[in-house]
Chains A and B, each alone.
Chain A
Amino acid sequence: MLWKNTQNELIKITSKIRSYIGIGALTVLILLVIFAMQADGKTYIGFVTSTFEQTLTFNGNILNGNLIAFIIMQMLIVHVPLLIVLVTGDLLSGELASGTIRMLATKPISRTGIVLSKWFAATIYTLIMTLWMGFLSLFVAHWIFGTGDLMVLNPDGLLILPSDDLLWRFGISMVLAFLALWTVATLSLAFSAFAKNSVGPIVITMAVIILFTIIGTLDVTVFDDLKFYLFTTHMATWRIVFEDPFPTEDILISAMVLLGHVVGLLLLAIYRFNRKDINA
């Protein structure tokens, strides 16, 4: 029954236009970045290497598919969650707003099952978005710009990683990006369990992401201890996959924190939905 209900939820997601807004916006954004890099990528690279250009020359294919994929991921990691929330923030509250939750509750499935099926559907949608982002940023960028070493642009310098050392890193970074987006999807589902309309959970989730991101970027010591507990801090963990030496421990900790958020928020959603007063 759980799987059948999940299938139903997926059908509902695919029948809504807003489900395609995220994928469409993602596609347009990535294609725009690729176009911009093709048109004026060398200026962008010059912006980065200008500090060294009086002393050094950079030779080889710097503007390659790996760098474009890295730049795309860096640009979109803050924005893609907002696109996901458009769909996942509506999953429970949308049913409440339209009244269809009463019909759903009459089915031979527990309330926990209803939340879980919606969560599975949200997970599959998030996975599709992540894979689509990975496909566009990595494969399309490779197809257009070719392969090559990756120049990782860090605030304290440049790290150059050889091309044969990158595919597995991109794979792990995609897994971590999925974990980050999954956390956001579950967060919006949890908010959705509290709300009675579609807009509220979407806006609140976006507000939380923006607020946490701003706290994370503020160079103020008072927030230093707090930053570790913000999921937005760990959403950027995909980036440290491209550090050398490979920070295994940091990555595992961040993955655990994100997974912890997913489990915690899912339990919160189940708890809240089970106690929700569904009436006419």
Chain B
Amino acid sequence: MKIVSLVFLLLMFHLVNAQTVTLQGAIDRINTVKDYKADVQVKAAIPFIKIPITKAKVYFKAKNKFKVVSDNIVILPKQGMSDLNEFLVNPKRYTQVPGEYKMLNGLKTQLITLLPSDENSEIILAKVYLSAKEPLIYRTVLTTKSSGTVTIDYEYAQSKAFGLPSKMTFYIDVRKFKMPKSVAANIRSTEKQRKTEENQKGSIVIYFSNYQVNKGISDSFFKED
């Protein structure tokens, strides 16, 4: 009996130590962030748009308030900034399906597929690659109704304790561009207008720095100017 008890205890001890990182751990980290502001540098390589590297300040307040302040024109992806966190932190909105392990940039990650419960949800499917070592998301593949598929890669630095990335790389689908002639007529152009492919891939890299987390931001700040 003593031997059986000992074996049981050893087994339990092993199980506790070998416990895999769960999505809930990542959610818990995200939930520690009530608000933040950060400096961002945005590098966009989008078909049909030529834009220099721009700087801005981003402000976030849980659950879904997000604002970008910049003297420049800043182009950000529509999906995957604050809406993804809002989706993740509410487990009632989806069903988790654990999947295979995959190496991402030399890091072991587990794929967790999230199936939305609401059939009218904007997010159709979310694939989350969670680190096997710590509760951090390293890749998200988001399929949405309006934006198609958006892949987001994350890198972490100082603010990883809050689950806040230092770099996010978005890979997005850009739809066929059609500029109204009345808006951009160019009588000088002697070239035939290039016929563009239906959809093209683009990327947006956002570098975050100088995070200020949970310092308090007023709700009124997020109201439209």
Residue numbers of A with Cβ under 8 A of B are: 44, 47-48, 51-62, 74, 78, 148-149, 151, 153-163, 213, 216-217, 219, 224, 227-228, 232-237, 239-240, 244
Looking at B52, B79, B180, B189, the one whose CB has the most chain A CB atoms below 10 A away is B189
The interface centre, meaning the residue of B77, B180, B186 with most chain A CB atoms within 10 A of its CB, is B186
Known: A155-B193, A236-B188. A52 touches B174 (CB 8 A): yes
Partner of B73, one of A44, A151, A157: A151
Q: Complex Cα distance A51/B78, Å? A: 13
Which B31-79 residues sit within 8 Å CB-CB of chain A? 46-52, 54, 56, 68, 70-79
> Beyond A48-B179, A156-B193, is A236–B187 a contact (Cβ under 8 Å)?
yes
B residues in contact with A58, CB < 8 Å: 73-75
Give 1 or 0 for each of B170-199: 1 = CB within 8 Å of chain A CB. Answer: 001111111111011111111011101000
Q: Tell me the B residues contacting A by CB distance below 8 Å.
A: 46-52, 54, 56, 68, 70-79, 146-148, 150, 172-181, 183-190, 192-194, 196
The residue on A at minimum CB distance from B74 is A59
Q: How far is the CA of A139 from the CA of B193 in the complex (A)?
A: 34
Interface pairs (6), CB distance under 8 Å: A51-B176, A58-B73, A59-B56, A74-B185, A155-B184, A216-B188
A55 contacts B48, C-beta separation under 8 Å:
no
The tally of CB-CB contacts under 8 A between chains A and B is 142
* A208, chain B: closest CB distance, angstroms: 15
Q: A154 near B184 (CB under 8 angstroms)?
A: yes
Contact indicator A62/B73 (Cβ below 8 Å): yes
Q: In the complex, what residues of A have CB within 8 A of residue B194's CB? A: 156
- What's the nearest-Cβ distance from chain A to residue B83, in Å? 11
Q: Cβ of B71 and Cβ of A157 under 8 Å apart? A: no
- Which of A59, A154, A234 lies at the interface centre, i.e. has the most chain B CB atoms within 10 A of its CB? A59
Question: Interface residues of A: mostly helix, strand, loop or mixed?
Answer: mixed
C-alpha spacing A225/B180, complex, angstroms = 26
What are the residues of chain B within 8 A of A52 when measuring CB–CB? Answer: 46, 48-49, 174-175, 177
A15 and B5 alpha carbons, distance in the complex (Å): 113
Residue on B nearest A212 in the bound complex, by CB: B187
Of A52, A219, A239, chain B has the most CB atoms within 10 Å of the CB of A52
> In the complex, A224 Cα to B190 Cα: how many Å?
6
Cβ–Cβ < 8 Å partners of B173 in chain A: 55
C-alpha gap A161/B196 in the complex (Å): 23
Q: Which residues from B are CB-within-8-Å of A153?
A: 179, 183-184
Known A-B contacts A157-B48, A216-B188, A244-B50; A149 and B73 likewise in contact (beta carbons under 8 Å): yes
Contact assessment for B147 and A55 in the assembled complex, using a CB-CB cutoff below 8 Å: yes
**Shortest distance in angstroms between A136's beta carbon and chain B's nearest beta carbon?**
21
Known contacts A155-B181, A156-B179; is-contact A55 B174 (Cβ 8 Å): yes
CA gap between A60 and B74 in the complex, in Å: 6
- Give the residue of B77, B148, B176, B187 whose beta carbon is less than 8 angstroms from that of A56: B77
CB pair A228–B183 under 8 Å, yes or no, is no
Question: How many angstroms between the C-alpha atoms of A74 and B180 in the bound complex?
Answer: 14
